[in-house]
Amino acid sequence: MKNLIKNILLLGSVVLMLAACKKDETRVVAKSDATAPALTATYENLVLNEADAAAEAIMFKWSKADYGYSAAISYTVEVAKKDSNFVNAKSVSAGANSQLVLTVGAFNSLLNQLNLVGFAQNDVEVRVKSEIGGGVAPVYSKSIPLVVSPYLDKPAYQTLYLVGDGTFGQWDNNKATPVFRDPANAFVFTFTGNFSNGAFKFLGKLGQWYPSWGSNGSGGVMFREKDADPDPANFPITSGYHKVTLNLRSNTYTDVPYDASGKTTYASIGIIGPFTDWGSIIPMTNTTLNPHIWTIDHTFDSDTEMKFRIAEGWSVNWGPANDGTASDVYGVGGNGGGNFKVKAGSYTIIFNDMTAEYVFIKK
Angle, CA 338 vertex, CA 335 and CA 342 arms, to 5°: 110
Residue 192 belongs to what H/E stretch? strand 185-195
What number of residues does the chain have? 363
Last residue of a domain, one of 149, 170, 203: 149
Q: Using the predicted structure, report yes or no on whether residue 260 has a pLDDT greater than 70.
A: yes
Whether residue 57 is found in the same domain as residue 124: yes
Residues 275 and 349 both lie in one domain: yes
Q: Which of these three, 124, 149, 174, is where a domain ends?
A: 149
pLDDT at 140: 98
For residues 140 and 43, state if they share a domain.
yes
* Residues 48-59: tens digit of each pLDDT: 998 899 999 999
pLDDT for res 120: 84
**Contact (Cβ atoms closer than 8 angstroms) between residue 339 and residue 326:** yes
- The pLDDT of residue 27 is 46
Same domain assignment for residues 57 and 144: yes
DSSP 283-348: E-B--SS-TTEEEEEEEESSSEEEEEEETT-TTSEEE-SSGGGTT-SEEE-EEB---EEE-SEEEE
231: phi then psi, degrees, rounded to nearest 5: -80, 125
pTM, to two decimals: 0.71
DSSP 8-state code for residue 35: B
Kindly report which listed range (151-160, 181-190, 191-200) carries the lowest average pLDDT score.
151-160
Domain of 355 in residue numbering reads as 269-362
Give Cβ neighbours of residue 175 (< 8 Å, ≥ 6 apart).
Answer: 168, 169
Instruction: Provide the pLDDT confidence category of residue 23 given band limits of 50, 70 and 90.
Output: very low
Answer whether residue 130 is part of any domain.
Answer: yes
Distance, CA of 141 to CA of 138 (rounded, Å): 10
Clarify whether residues 196 and 220 are in a common domain.
yes
pLDDT of residue 141: 98
On whether residue 71 sits in a domain, the answer given is: yes
52 phi, psi to nearest 5 deg = -105, 25
Residue 171: inside a domain, yes or no? Answer: no
- Same domain? For 219 and 314 the reply is no
The mean per-residue pLDDT over the stretch 243-260 comes to 95
Under the banding of pLDDT at 50, 70 and 90, the label for residue 32 is low
**Percent above pLDDT 70 for the chain:** 91
Q: Are 65 and 143 part of one and the same domain? A: yes
Q: Does the pLDDT at position 21 exceed 90?
A: no
Which pLDDT belongs to residue 156? 81
Sign, Cα dihedral of 173, 175, 176, 178: positive
Residue 286 has pLDDT above 60, yes or no: yes
CATH of the domain at 94: 2.60.40.10
Checking if the pLDDT of 314 tops 80, the result is yes
Overall number of domains in the chain: 3
DSSP alpha helix (H) spans, the chain: 2-24, 104-112
Mean pLDDT score across all residues of the chain: 91
